[in-house]
Structure formats: structure tokens, C-alpha cells
A and B are shown apart, each in its own frame.
Chain A
Amino acid sequence: MADHLYGFDTLCLHAGHIPDAATGARALPIYQTTSFVFDSADHAASLFNLQTFGNVYSRISNPTVAALEERVAALEGGRAGLAAATGMAAQMTALLTLCRAGDHLVASRTLYGGTYSQFAVTFAQFGIDVTFVDPDDPENFRRARKGNTKALYAETIGNPQLNVADLDALATIAHDAGIPLVIDNTLASPYLCRPIEHGADIVVHSLTKYLGGHGTTMGGILVESGKFPWDNGNFPQMTEPSRGYHGVRFYETFGDFGFTMKARMETMRTLGPTLSPLSAFLLLQGIETLHVRMPRHCESTLAIAQHLSEHPQIAWVNYPLLSGNRYEALARRYLPSGASGILTFGVKGGAEAGVRFIERVQMLSHLANVGDAKSLVIHPASTTHRQLSEDEQRAAGVLPEMIRLSVGLESLSDILWDLDQALNNSQ
């Protein structure tokens, strides 16, 4: 008899957490402990040898963190997950499990700035070479691939350009080369897009954004699809005896979650960017309402985009699902139920008008984050990108007058009121 398939909303609330035998606690307990006692010397040996599943030390695994890992893996339709202290740590853990010095990656050039720096500066120090390409033509990834390329990397929705990736095309190019497609799905969240359904092999998230959803807690995660053939000859570290874990062959031993086990037992265990149990609890509490929050984020954002596009003080509005947007067709294909809660717009009057607008908002919060339940606004040219020249800013997709708005869950009429009064006072 086939197993009952639970819906996405139910998974948001239940996946990964069964009431424990000891207490029956319905809410997820916070296992605020560094270490776990062994039953016996033999039990300890079995745990260290990975012959039995269990917890040893919270840098490697922890029951509260594991509940979060299973929940996000379930929401993404993946086989297994590994949480990390931040989104940056999660993508680093994924990519350092795939790559070593002398290897190569091909990545979108419209990545989040922190990711760009991680790849271009830090990975370069490790001897990992990254080629950045214009993602609007997926064939650019194929052209940039080399013999030592270990993965393709892109974001479902780029930040701050809000470009949408052609996931099916990227997956085909990656699989033609026998390498995995790694997708940062942070801005979409699995409610809006599940990249594994489009061929992605590894999905990474900053949980800090929509999954946590309340701007309280840093976290990240990697999720493995369980479908990549790691024995295709390109990843000997998955099939040969592990130097990092006394001879275990991760793909043979753990099969379709072998990549996650390797990432956990080698990369996470030795580099140590672990998520804390308390953070996992707070992030999981946010995920329990993901399916209620995301539709509202999307509805309000589309309404604001339409309002602003008719506003006399607005030069332009960028939101993928806005009629006439250059990514509208890709958004309708990959993000049919909404293109997330972030839009950018240009205030007439250039950078000075942008700064005046920011100084006059009363309820929208001026800060450098996205995906909060509260509405957030920032003028990138005078903040996150101020160290760049105007030409460099334009190359990064940041125009002098550009405002980025992360639309929260407040009354739509109040968000519109604050935008209008700030715009009217910025001229």
C-alpha cells in the first residue's frame, strides 16, 4: 500500500518532529547540550564508526537541529539536510564538500554580494577558481565549464537584481557535464519554488530570511536531492575510502544521502560552522507559518509594485511578476504562485532623492536584511554598495536612485501610506 503523501502545509508543521518517547512534548524540545552520553564503550565505538545513528557532540548533530534539517529537506522534496550557522556557512559547506584546491566552479555573476566575495576572494585563497557568467543565457554556463568544474551555482531569484534563473536549462547543462547544479533558493523559499523538481541536485538557503521569517535568528542549510549519481567518475571523494573518516566510502555506505553524510562528518565536523539548538528552535518556529506568510508577502508586493508603477515620483519598478518585466516569463514558469516579497524601484531625482526618501519613511525599517515579517527598506548606493564608484555600482546592478523594499506583513494600506508620504516629501 502506498504511503499517504502529506501536503506542503502539513509538512511545514510536522515534518521532522515526532513527540519524543520520554516526555511526549508536542513542541520541539530545545536540546541545549554540547554532548550526549554513551550507553557503553561498544556503543561509543559504533557511533564514532557511524555503524549506528546517534548523537555524539552537537558540532556534528543535535536532535533540535536535526528536526529543522528534516523539515527543510521535506519541504524542498530532498533526501537529507545539513544545517549551518548562516546561509554563507551552508553554501561553503556544500561547495567545500564538492571542491578541493585546483577545482573550478561556474557561478552566476548576479549573486548576493556576500556570496560573490566568498567565491571570488575566499575560495580563491583556497585554490578554488570560480568563473562568473551572465545567467540570462544559460549556455554561458556550458561555455565556461572546464574539465575540473565540479558544480554550477545560481540563485532562484537574484539579489538585488531580482533576475529569475532558468533552472531546467541549468540542470540540463550541469547533468550533460556530469556535475551537480547547486541552487540558492533563499528568496523564493520552498513555498514558491522547489528547485529539485527542476533538476537541482543541492539546494542551499539562508534560513535567516523567509524560512525563519521574523528577523531574529541566523541560520543556513544545504539539502541534497538524493538523485545525483556520485559514482559517475567525477567525484572520487564520494566513492573512494575517506581519508577524513577512516576509510568509509560515503556513497556506497549511505547511498542517496551520502553527500549529506560526507558534508556532516568531514566538512562540518572539521570546519565547525554549526547551528545552535536554540537557533534551530527559533527558525523552526518560523517555518511553521511559512505557508501562511508567503502568500501575503507576495500579494502585498505585487500590489505595491503596481501602485508604484503608476506613481508620479517613481522612475521605474522592478518585480519579476509585474507585467512587462524582462523576467516575467521565467517567473510565471518557476514562481507561478508569487515572486517573493522583494521589489526595487527608482525614485525620480537620482541618488539624492533616494536618500531623502529613506530619511522620511516612518514605519518601514531602514536596515540591511530581507525576508522579515516587518517591511524593510534600503538605499544600496549609499549603504551596502557605497564603497563602489557609480560605474562599479551600475555594473553590480545598483542604480543611484534604486531603493530595495522587502515587503512585510503589515496592513497593505499602511505600507502604501508610508511609501507615498515619504515619496511626496522626498522631492
Chain B
Amino acid sequence: MNITDDIAGLRRILTRYRSIAVVGISANWYRPSYFAAKYMLDHGYQIFPVNPNYSEVLGRKCYPTIAAIPESVDIVDCFRKPAEMVPLAHEAVAKGAKVLWMQLGIRNDEAAMIASAAGLDVVMNHCVKIEHARILGGLNWAGVNTGVISSRRA
């Protein structure tokens, strides 16, 4: 099974892919899903909010399902309960996504197997915002041990 957990692998995902479906996004500004989507939007990613309860989040049209998004999606970023990951993995595969990303606190090995078998990269139990900031800069400003050692310019 192809679970990505290392700096080089996460850096490859975050630099190669640019469009993100944020599944389970909240419209409340203080919720982690809103935080992460706003952060990724501010860092140049295309964001597709996915939540049947809203028509618009972050000034963008909000879709009821991944399938309803009219454009291609690279990363399916999941802010839903672990039990909902298997159907989301199937939806990500059907959409032609490149990465199934399960957020901080979310693990589901079966969903990971489904996505991995279809050739997707899988990330589990990580926040897309925190990993972006850890590897590509910003998290070090919060005193976090990023694990990044380099003599090259940032």
C-alpha cells in the first residue's frame, strides 16, 4: 500500500498538484476545514468546496458531491469521519483524482487500499495546511519541529 508520510513524498504531492476538493468543509471561519481551505487558497491552490449543506463557501461555489465538480481534481482532502472514508475513496477514484488525503485524526486502511490500488497517493492523519507549512515554510514561525534540515535557501 502506497502511504505517503515522508518529507520528499509530501513535497512532491504539494508541489505537483494544484487543485483540491475540500470535502466536509465548514462555512464557519473558526473551523479547521475552513482554516485549511483558506490557507491553501492563499497559497495559490484551486479550491473546490464540497458540502451539500452550503451553496457557497470562501466565495466559491460549493458542490454537494465530488462528482458534481465540473473540473478535474488532483487532491481529495477529507474532513469527514473515518467511517465515511471508503465511499469517499471510491468517489476520488471515479473522479480521476491523484491523491486521497485524510485529515488529522482520520485513518481508514480500507479506504487507503482502495485508493492505492487505483494508483492514487494516499496521506492519512495529516493536515494539508500543517504539512504545507511544515515543508514549504511558515510552520517554523510557530516554533514547530518541522524535521526539515537544509543548507539551501528557503
Contact = CB atoms under 8 A, between A and B. Distances in A.
Contacts of B147: 3, 74
Contacts of A49: 29-30, 35
Contacts of A249: 32
A205 interface: no
A53 B139 contact: yes
B148 interface: yes
A6 B153 CA distance: 19
Given A51-B38, A51-B39, A73 B144 contact: yes
A92 B142 CA distance: 19
B96 to A, nearest CB: 26
Interface stretch (B5-13, B45-53, B66-74, B84-92): B5-13
Given A1-B6, A1-B9, A18-B148, A52 B143 contact: no
Contacts of B32: 249, 252-253
Interface in B79-133: 104-105, 127, 130, 133
Contacts, number: 114
In this complex, the interface size class of chain B, counting residues with CB under 8 Å from chain A, is 20 to 34
A70 B145 contact: yes
Interface stretch (A19-27, A355-363, A403-411): A19-27
B152 interface: yes
B15 interface: no
Interface in A44-94: 46, 49-55, 61, 63, 65-67, 69-70, 73-74, 78-83
B39 A241 contact: no
B154 A20 contact: yes
A43 B41 CA distance: 12
B137 to A, nearest CB: 8
Interface string B1-32: 00000111100000000000000000001101
Interface residues of A, number: 52
Nearest to A242: B30
Contacts of B29: 49, 51
Nearest to B9: A1
Contacts of B143: 61, 65-66, 69-70, 73, 80-83, 260, 264
B105 A54 contact: no
A114 interface: no
Given A2-B6, A246-B30, A248-B30, A54 B149 contact: no
Contacts of B133: 53
A257 B142 contact: yes
Contacts of A19: 151-154
A78 to B, nearest CB: 6
Contacts of B152: 18-19
A255 B105 contact: yes
Contacts of A73: 143-145
B154 A53 contact: no
A261 interface: yes
B149 A61 contact: no
A261 B42 CA distance: 21
A16 interface: yes
B142 A264 contact: yes
Nearest to A50: B35
B142 A61 contact: yes
Contacts of B55: none
Contacts of A80: 142-145
The 3 A-B residue pairs whose C-beta atoms are closest, nearest first, are A69-B143, A53-B138, A73-B145
6 contacts: A18-B150, A46-B39, A46-B42, A51-B29, A53-B139, A63-B141
Interface of A: 1-3, 6, 10-11, 14-16, 18-21, 24, 42-43, 46, 49-55, 61, 63, 65-67, 69-70, 73-74, 78-83, 241, 246-249, 252-255, 257, 260-261, 264
Given A19-B153, A46-B39, A61-B143, 11 more contacts: A10-B149, A11-B149, A46-B38, A53-B139, A53-B141, A63-B141, A66-B141, A80-B142, A83-B143, A257-B144, A260-B143
